[in-house]
Structure 1
Amino acid sequence: MSSVHTSETDAPWRRRASKAAGAFKEARSWAAGEPRETAPSAALPLPGGKRMRLTTDRVRAKPALSPQVSFMLGQNAIGLGVWGLFFPRAVQRFLGLNGSPQTTQVLFGAREIATGVGLFSDPTRSGVLWARVAGDVFAIAVLSALNRRSNPKRGNARLALGVVLAVTALDVITATRMTNVKRNCD
């Protein structure tokens, strides 16, 4: 039976203790000038003494918080989408929106679910984030129109508008950062 020997080049993603600081450091594949071979990989032994090398793509935005924010935005979009898709009349009552429930289902529910599932499956997809920004602009226009004195749910519309403005800011920041992510594979 052959044994597997790993070296620093076999597993650069492993955390190594820094003797001076006592902290853990992680090799980062997005560092400028770092060769492609530093992508996380492992050599696995196969029958007959052969080895198979598994290499993964290392996708990170600087700092690595953007994919996590994007993932959370996707989760929240799914929740809002479920509300809009399955309970359109409740959305209309909450906001003081007049119109058909089917319009609310398509324009709010289905749109949110589509972008939410896209980000939930791969939070590094900048195209989905930019689609969310476009949807946010539409939602801001609708909510601004609902911020009128004749709307009995004006306070709810203002609250929703404030939340959408904050989420839009996160969407724009995350979309911009994820657009600039460099992948280390072709």
Structure 2
Amino acid sequence: MATTADVSRARAFRPEDAAVLGTGTRTPGWDLATERRIDDGEAMAKGVGWFSIALGLAEVVAPEKIAGELGMEDKKNLVRLYGFRELAKGVGILSNRKPAGWVWGRVAGDVLDLATLASGLRSDNPKRDNVLKAISAIVGVTVVDVAVARQLSEARNERVRHD
């Protein structure tokens, strides 16, 4: 007998049918037991890829402005170089069917960015506050990059196990 909940919402999967249908599908896909999409990180990777391209363009086009805002005018050529790195990573992420390695490359780049920014924390830098804000932003981006890279790597490993 159907309850009110059963009538009001059609279900893609009924837990009582698990013995016949199985409890899930390979990742990426749908977890039929919970009726939720199993995210393999590819959607977030696309966002990270576009972010990388946007950041890279800014660093290539206006390295003097970025370095100046950080009180690190002597690093403008390095900022431009980092911009080309970001562009390469973004294109790699967006054009590769298995972008985990490219996203892990972004994580390595984030560590390099943090090390470079740390040099701007010297006591004679009048824009130290801006450097601290930039470090905070990079730490946040790094957390996202690591989460996406792990998710992509785990999804890839899961697919390899099931194939």
Whether TM-score is above 0.5 comes out as: yes
Larger radius of gyration: 1
Tell me which of 125, 147, 154 is aligned to 1:180: 154
Rounded to whole Å, the distance in 2 between the matches of 1:59 and 1:112 is: 30
Q: 1:64 corresponds to which residue?
A: 39
5+ residue gaps, structure 1, are 1-18, 32-57
**Which stretches in structure 2 are left out of the alignment for 5+ residues?**
1-5, 14-22, 31-36
Please give the residue correspondences for 1:1-186 in structure 2 after superposition, counting only pairs within 5 Å: 22-23=9-10, 25=12, 29-30=25-26, 63-64=38-39, 66-99=41-74, 101-106=76-81, 108-122=82-96, 124-181=98-155, 182-183=158-159
Counterparts of 1:64 and 1:83 in 2: how far apart (Å)? 30
Once the two structures are aligned, what percentage of the paired residues are identical? 29
Root-mean-square deviation (CA, aligned residues, Å) is: 3.0
Matched-pair contact (CA < 8 Å) for 1:67–1:123: no
Aligned length in residues: 141
Could you tell me the TM-score, scaled by structure 1's length?
Answer: 0.64
In structure 2, the residue matched to 1:50 is none
Give CA-to-partner distance per residue, 1:133-153, whole Å, 9 cap, x none. 100000011112212221111
Q: Aligned pair in 2 of structure 1 residues 99, 59: CA closer, same or farther (>3 Å)?
A: farther
C-alpha deviations, 1:15-43, integer Å up to 9, x for none? xxxx6562564996416xxxxxxxxxxxx
Contact 2:29–2:38 (8 Å) recurs in 1: no
List, as ranges, runs of 4+ consecutive aligned residues in structure 1 with deviation greater than 3 Å: 23-29, 182-186
Q: Whole-Å Cα distance in 2 between the matches of residues 69 and 102 of structure 1? A: 30
| Structure 2 length-normalised TM | 0.72
